[in-house]
Amino acid sequence: MALQALHSSGVGLRRILAHFPEDLSLAFAYGSAVYRQAGPSAHQENPMLDLVFTVDDPVAWHAMNLKKNWSHYSFLKLLGPRIISSIQNNYGAGVYFNPLIRCDGKLIKYGVISTGTLIEDLLNWNNLYIAGRLQKPVKIVSMNENMALRAALDKNLRSAVTTACLMLPESFSEEDLFIEIAGLSYSDKSPEGQFTQLMTLPRTLQQQINHIMDPPGRNRDVEETLLQVAQDPDCGDVVRLAISSIVRPSSIRQSTKGLFTAGMKKSVIYSSRKLNKMWKGWMRKAS
């Protein structure tokens, strides 16, 4: 497995890169907007383009990016580049994401990670967040001559192959090897995968999740809340609660409305038939 070089289709990616500060040690793109994938995403029109930028000095980079792309940031931009960098480095997997950005006619999400943090993850698999992503197909858009980073990228791939071989049987196919490698960073659900899934949820469900998780007075963007939920071990429970908060009131309102639209007599008959059907179902299971 080798890092994939940029070809002619990468012109558009380089055009997008021109909207950002140039001080990048590595920039790569991934996901269904870059590589056609099987499943529902294969039929998605204009999928969001995922990018990761690796920077040597996050404070300086965010300071420059705030000047160029102020609107990309949430309310945290008011706290300045040092606080943004502190949040990037000290929470989660060391990545700061700006999602749902319109750039050069495309919808993009970009994450920023420090070069040192990425090298540590590539070498030691501290969290397998970006290191795990770099074990899968990516399109390198830009990379400087940082030899330590290049060596760490190669080491990450060799470690992935070695680990996959340890978990495979004595005899296996090339496809088995690639599937095992692709699954290394998904042994528990990854925050990245969960965030991608959360971002595809219907808008009302996203808003309900935001309502549940956003403390009073904070008024956070929905995307910020979803990013937090994606890193929460109880992500599934939060989604279930949000679904319940949608279904329960609408069911009550619909049942109440039925008393008027169908009339009391029809409503009683309808309800009794449903109860009778439920009762027969319970009796069949019990017998």
Q: What pTM does this model have?
A: 0.65
Q: What is the pLDDT along the chain (287 residues), one digit of tens a residue?
A: 333 433 335 668 889 999 999 889 999 999 877 776 655 445 556 678 999 999 999 999 999 999 999 999 988 889 999 999 998 888 778 889 888 889 988 888 899 999 999 999 998 888 788 888 899 889 999 999 899 999 999 999 989 888 888 778 888 899 998 888 887 776 576 777 778 778 877 778 888 888 888 767 677 788 888 888 888 888 888 888 887 787 676 455 445 534 443 345 545 554 565 566 566 666 666 66
Q: What is the pLDDT of residue 275?
A: 61
DSSP collapsed to 3 states, the chain: CCCECCCHHHHHHHHHHCCCCCCCCEEEEECCCCCCCCCHHHHCCCCCEEEEEEECCHHHHHHHHHHHCHHHCCHHHHHCHHHHHHHHHHCCCCEEEEEEEEECCEEEEEEEEEHHHHHHHHHHCCCCCHHHHCCCCCEEEEECCCHHHHHHHHHHHHHHHHHHHHHCCCCCCHHHHHHHHHCHHHCCCCHHHHHHHHHCCCHHHHHHHHHHHCCCCCCCCHHHHHHHHHCCCCHHHHHHHHHHHHHHHHHHHHHHHHHHHCCHHHHHHHHHHHHHHHHHHHHHHHC
